[in-house]
Amino acid sequence: MPQNFQIFPVGVVRKKEEATWIEIFEPYGDALLGLEGFSHIQVLFWFHENDTADRRKTLRVHPRKDKKNPLTGVFATHSPLRPNLIGLTICRIKSIKGRHIEIEDIDAADDTPVVDIKCYIPGSTSRSDVRVPDWV
C-alpha cells in the first residue's frame, strides 16, 4: 500500500456578512453539473489550522473540548484533531450561480479549503436504529 496520497483543494469556504458559500475553483467547475437537483450536499473540507505533524498525532480527546466528557479516541468523535484532517458536514443549498454554491450555514471557518462535494442521498447517507454513547 502506498505510504501516502495527495489531495488538492477544489474550492474554499467563503463567509461574508450574512452570506455563506463555497467557491469551487475554475478547473473543477464542470463537476457541478446537475447539483441543482439536490437540496443538500456533503462537504468534505480540510482542518488546515491543525496541519502540523504534532497535532496530527493527537489520537484521544475530550469530545467537544469538555473535560467532563470521557477521554475518547478521535475515530469515535468528529474532532478537528485527527490523523487525516478531513472534516465532513451536511449543508442545505440555497442557490448555485456559476461556481458559487450558496449554502445556509457550515460549521467550518471562512477560507477553509474544500476537498470534495458529494450529493446527499437519504438512505444511502443516513441510517435508522442507531445507538450512541451518553456523551453525545
Residue from the set 10, 13, 103, 108 that interacts with a second copy by CB under 8 A: 10
Residue from the set 13, 85, 106, 108 that interacts with a second copy by CB under 8 A: 85
| 73 CB-side CA count, 13 A | 2
Residue from the set 19, 83, 95, 98 that interacts with a second copy by CB under 8 A: 83
Query: Scanning residues 111 to 130, which ones bind a second copy (CB under 8 A)?
Result: 111, 113, 115-122, 124-130
Query: Scanning residues 46 to 75, which ones bind a second copy (CB under 8 A)?
Result: 46, 48, 51, 59-60, 70-75
User: What is the C-alpha separation between 94 and 133, in angstroms, rounded?
Assistant: 34
Q: Of 113, 92, 105, whose CA–CA distance to 28 is shortest?
A: 113
Residue from the set 15, 23, 50, 86 that interacts with a second copy by CB under 8 A: 86
Residue 9 Cα distances to 17, 46, 65, 92, 110, angstroms: 24, 8, 28, 21, 14
User: What is the C-alpha separation between 100 and 115, in angstroms, rounded?
Assistant: 15
Give residues in contact with a second copy (CB under 8 A): 1-10, 12, 24, 28, 30-35, 37-42, 44, 46, 48, 51, 59-60, 70-78, 82-86, 88, 90, 92, 111, 113, 115-122, 124-134, 136
